[in-house]
Amino acid sequence: MASNQVLIGNGRLPFDVLIRVFELYLPEETPDHPLESLLLVCKAWEQAAVAHRSLWATFKITMGEEEHTRLWLCRLPLRIERSGLQALFHIDIRHLDEETGKQASEAHDRGQKIPTQADVEANLPRILDLLAGVDGHLCARWGSLRLTIYGCFLEFRATDPHRNVFNSLTYPMPSLTSLHLALHSDTDVWLFPQLPAVESIVLEHSELHDLPDMSHAQNIWIGGELLCMADGPLWFLTAPEVLHLRIEQGFWLDDAYPKLHTLSLYGRYLPPGFEETYIPRLRVLDLHFTGLDILEDLLYHQQVLSLLDVVLLSCEPSLLTDPRERA
């Protein structure tokens, strides 16, 4: 038998095809039918799956029923071991399985237990600690992270490090290229302070003391209903490498964005500091406005308008009706 083939039933399936089957199965795994199920098909499948290190470095975890969480806590150490020493981790941790809907009523109809504040506080730190490793040494292998914990306010617990979700988010992450975060916290500890390789950042529905390190990000999306600095002033958005920036109201622009090409703005007004910001390469301005004030403000910035190749406008339907009808 050729070295790149494995025996499947009465035929032969090339190794690369079999690996593709595993990769297609990975995003469809469930707590009841995990990736480990592939190891039970036959010896050849087990050998091929174990040999594919990056297969075991993808972690899609839903903060749901306690039984499922316990299964993940048991599986994580072995999955990390099977991933070898070099495969980058791709981590996706969500408060609810978005495929079943975020609404509590939908989850209830399916018999799914909604994770409580206590569930998240008890289990999320344990999961992140396993993924971070001793003294955060595994954080060097984090390649992408989605951590979207909607509706829970996580407290800093200095006296109980085993229940402190923030420990694992303070280590350097030199390989992280993508960060998607929705997190409410009361800590003044700087989370994600060193992201030298990050390319894309999405920050939504969050309450944080400081923004993550955005100094190297090229694509940034910031928005959501609760995005503010706890007990402090509005943020200055410092991102000198950004090419595409999408923000909602509540942010002061920095002095300069020398590489910014596309700017998407959401809200009623232009962001504070817009008139002083140096944006020499801006070519596309995408406005999603909830009031006409933003258009009036823009007319006073002819130097910005003169740079643009494209201006995209979208608004609430009510703004397109006759003012007398709105009255």
Which of 33-37, 83-87, 149-153 is least confident?
149-153
Q: What is the pLDDT of residue 91?
A: 95
E runs forming strands in 102-199:
142-154, 178-185
Helices 43-51 & 15-25 angle (0-180, nearest 10): 80
Q: What is the pLDDT of residue 117?
A: 65
Beta bridge partners of 311: 285
Closest Cα partner for 184 from 168, 198, 162, 165?
A: 165
pLDDT exceeds 70 at position 327: no
User: CA-to-CA distance for 61 and 68, rounded, in angstroms?
Assistant: 9
Q: What is the pLDDT of residue 207?
A: 78
pLDDT higher at 8 or 262: 262
Q: Could you tell me the pLDDT band of residue 9, with boundaries at 50, 70 and 90?
A: very low
Q: Could you tell me the pLDDT band of residue 103, with boundaries at 50, 70 and 90?
A: very low
Q: What percent of the chain has pLDDT over 70?
A: 75
pLDDT higher at 224 or 181: 181
Which of 59-63, 195-199, 203-207, 320-324 is least confident?
320-324
Q: Out of 96-105, 106-115, 280-289, give the one with best mean pLDDT.
A: 280-289
Q: Could you tell me the pLDDT band of residue 141, with boundaries at 50, 70 and 90?
A: very high
Length of the chain: 327
- Please compute the mean of the pLDDT values over residues 188-217 and round it to a whole number: 89
Q: What is the pLDDT of residue 133?
A: 94
pLDDT exceeds 70 at position 263: yes
Q: What is the pLDDT of residue 19?
A: 82
- Please compute the mean of the pLDDT values over residues 169-177 and round it to a whole number: 95
pLDDT exceeds 60 at position 157: no
Q: What is the pLDDT of residues 203-216, one digit of tens each?
A: 888 877 788 999 99
Read off the DSSP letter of residue 220. Answer: E
What letter represents residue 31's amino acid?
P
Torsion of CA 134, 26, 149, 67, to 10 degrees: -80
Q: What is the pLDDT of residue 30?
A: 77
Which of 135-144, 151-160, 203-212, 263-272 is least confident?
151-160
The answer to whether the beta carbons of residues 262 and 244 sit under 8 Å apart is yes
Q: What is the pLDDT of residue 111?
A: 53
pLDDT higher at 231 or 299: 299
pLDDT exceeds 60 at position 318: no
Q: What is the pLDDT of residue 277?
A: 85
The answer to whether the beta carbons of residues 186 and 153 sit under 8 Å apart is yes
Residue 185's alpha-carbon distances to 67, 142, 156, 206, 213, in angstroms, are 26, 22, 7, 8, 17
Q: Could you tell me the pLDDT band of residue 6, with boundaries at 50, 70 and 90?
A: very low
Which residue carries 């799914």 as its tokens? Answer: 112
Residue 83 CB coordination number (10 Å): 21
Closest Cα partner for 50 from 9, 18, 28?
A: 18
Q: Could you tell me the pLDDT band of residue 293, with boundaries at 50, 70 and 90?
A: confident
pLDDT exceeds 60 at position 189: yes
Average pLDDT over all residues of the chain: 78
